[in-house]
Amino acid sequence: MAQEYTLELPEFQHLSYQVESGAAIVTIKRPQALNALSQDLMAEIAEVAGVIIQDPEVQVVIFTGEGKAFVAGADIAELSEIKDAFAARESAIFGQAVMGEISSLPVPTIAAINGYALGGGLELALACDLRVASTKAKLGLPEVGLGLIPGYGGTQRLPRLIGRGRALDLIFTGRHVSAEEALSLGIVNRVAEDALAAAKELAAAIRKNAPLALALAKESVTRGEGLELAQALEVEADLFGYAATTQDMREGTRAFLEKRAPEFKGE
């Protein structure tokens, strides 16, 4: 059964935070606005990233939304109040920084896309390592229809994930895609009737593995992105060498030879 995080937490107004068997579940809670990313909500997402880093029990993080949306986009009412390019640029930089906080978390992150993931919502999902979509989910970057472009990382993360041509198709048309099309495009990793339940199953499969190895694997992939292959392989070799010195590696190899389940301690 899910338990509320027992250490002292900020007083979140627009999200909830629970820890269940090593998996932190962050639920965006602005259902009346389809969980749109207001500035206050964005600040809370940045705060919750700090909480996650401080919690030694968290091995995986799941982001999801309350109601029929994951996150339906940025708060259009707030965007409409922006008066000049400087203010707009600052808004984008803030949003990018928040997504960067999620992207840089040292543990695996999963977006459980329970409904609409549009604009900033898809950008939040793209900042996660893995994405599980409900069969009812709709995904897209519709900003050009508002006279804008994606500003929280969408023009950069989506092409890196699915390729330039496919990404520009979605960005130029602003169209919404179904969960099945998102799967075929490579935007999401899995599709399920219940995205959160499937994300919890995925988290459980991840949590069976060594925590330090998971963190090092994520670091290797992240640091290797954008490097020449030879340089990236050096990064991998360095981190492999570090992993080989851990107690978890000793436990994992010993358990394999003794034909038993390992008991990892993150050391």
Output the tens digit of pLDDT for each of the chain's 267 residues. Answer: 344 445 667 889 999 999 998 999 999 999 999 999 999 999 999 999 999 999 988 999 999 999 999 999 988 888 888 889 999 999 999 999 999 999 999 999 999 999 999 999 999 999 999 999 999 999 999 999 999 999 999 999 999 999 999 999 999 999 999 999 999 999 999 999 999 999 999 999 999 999 999 999 999 999 999 899 999 999 999 999 999 999 999 999 999 999 999 999 888
Residue indicated by tokens 């495009």: 185
| Domain coordinates in residue numbering, the chain | 3-207, 211-257
CATH number of 211-257: 1.10.12.10
Sign of CA dihedral 39, 43, 46, 48: negative
Report the alpha-carbon distance of residue 180 to residue 170 in Å, rounded: 15
Residue indicated by tokens 């409409």: 80
Report the alpha-carbon distance of residue 228 to residue 198 in Å, rounded: 35
Catalytically active residues are 123, 143
Sign of CA dihedral 21, 22, 23, 25: positive
Report the alpha-carbon distance of residue 15 to residue 250 in Å, rounded: 39
2 HSE (CA, 13 A, CB side): 13
**Residues 114, 65 contacting (CB under 8 angstroms):** yes
A 10 A CB-CB count for 92 gives 17
**Residues 100, 127 contacting (CB under 8 angstroms):** yes
- CA 86 vs. chain centroid, Å, equals 28
Residue indicated by tokens 């996660």: 128
Report the alpha-carbon distance of residue 99 to residue 103 in Å, rounded: 6
Report the alpha-carbon distance of residue 188 to residue 97 in Å, rounded: 23
Q: Which contacts qualify for 219-226: CB closer than 8 Å, 24 or more apart?
A: 219/106, 222/104, 225/160
What is the pTM (predicted TM-score) of this model? Answer: 0.93
Which CATH number among 3.90.226.10, 1.10.357.140, 3.30.70.2700, 1.10.760.10 corresponds to the domain 3-207?
A: 3.90.226.10
Report the alpha-carbon distance of residue 15 to residue 232 in Å, rounded: 37
